[in-house]
Amino acid sequence: MPQLNPEFFVSQLFWLIVTFSFLLIFLWRISLPRISSVLEKREIKINNDFETAKKLQTEAEDIQYQIGQQLQKAREQTLGMIKDSILNFQKKATNDLSKLDEELNKKIDNTAAIIDKNKNDSLKKIHEHILEITKLTLSKLSTVQVNQKEINESVINVKTKIMN
């Protein structure tokens, strides 16, 4: 093997130093600065993205809090509107029932008045018929003449005894 031959050691050492120096200079001046700049840019971008994410998270939490407050206000307003609607409905129902009660009481009073009037008219007619029947009966049964006043008084006395 020629590499292990001692006469080639000096030349091999020379080319080793030249190659190693070239590789060291190439890496030190060209490759490593580019790699470090890429790493720095990457770290800066990651940090910026991380800060942006924190800001966005804070904004999202603020927006979520505002939405929660708006929902709470909307719920309270809705409950208030429902309570107002229920109260208005109850008031309207109460007023309608009161009006209906008043109308029914008026109709009942009117009907009672009509019934009393009809009852009184019927009683007067019955009273008149009783007087006529009594007068006819007395005239047929007896020859005694009884005047209208006496018949009225007798019918009234009998009527008061029956009512009590």
**3-class DSSP string for 41-92:** HHHHHHHHHHHHHHHHHHHHHHHHHHHHHHHHHHHHHHHHHHHHHHHHHHHH
Burial call 121-135: b when 16+ CB within 10 Å, e when fewer: eeeeeeeeebeeebe
Determine the pLDDT at residue 129. 86
pLDDT above 70 covers a percentage of the chain that reads 97
| Greater pLDDT, 159 or 10 | 10
Q: Is residue 115 part of a domain?
A: yes
- Say how far apart CA 81 and CA 88 lie, in whole Å: 10
Gyration radius of the chain over CA positions: 62
Q: Does the residue 49 lie in any domain?
A: no
Closest CA relative to residue 103, chosen from 111, 93, 91, 114: 111
The whole domain housing 32 covers 9-36+57-163
Residue located via tokens 């309270």: 76
Residue 146 lies in a domain: yes
The answer to whether residue 151 sits within a structural domain is yes
Q: What percent of the chain has pLDDT over 90?
A: 64
Average pLDDT over residues 150-156: 77
- Find all residues with CB under 8 Å of 144, minimum gap 6, and list them: 138
46-55 confidence digits (pLDDT tens) = 999 999 999 9
- The C-alpha atoms of residue 94 and residue 164 are separated, in whole angstroms, by 45
Q: Is residue 42 part of a domain?
A: no
Highest mean pLDDT among 6-15, 23-32, 71-80, 121-130: 71-80
Residue, of 41 and 133, whose pLDDT is higher: 41
pLDDT of 79: 96
User: Does 159 reside within a domain?
Assistant: yes
For the chain, what is the domain count? 1
Q: Which tokens hold the place of 117? A: 């009037």
Over 70: is that where the pLDDT of 164 sits? Answer: no
Q: Which pLDDT score is estimated for 89? A: 96
Q: What is the mean pLDDT of the chain?
A: 89
pLDDT confidence of 1, banded at 50, 70, 90? low
Q: Note the pLDDT of residue 11.
A: 87
Tell me the whole-structure pTM to 2 decimals.
0.45
* Contact present, 72 and 79 (Cβ < 8 Å): no
Domain contains 124: yes
Confidence grade of residue 124 (pLDDT, cut at 50, 70, 90): confident
Amino acid symbol at 134: T
Determine, yes or no, domain membership for 27.
yes
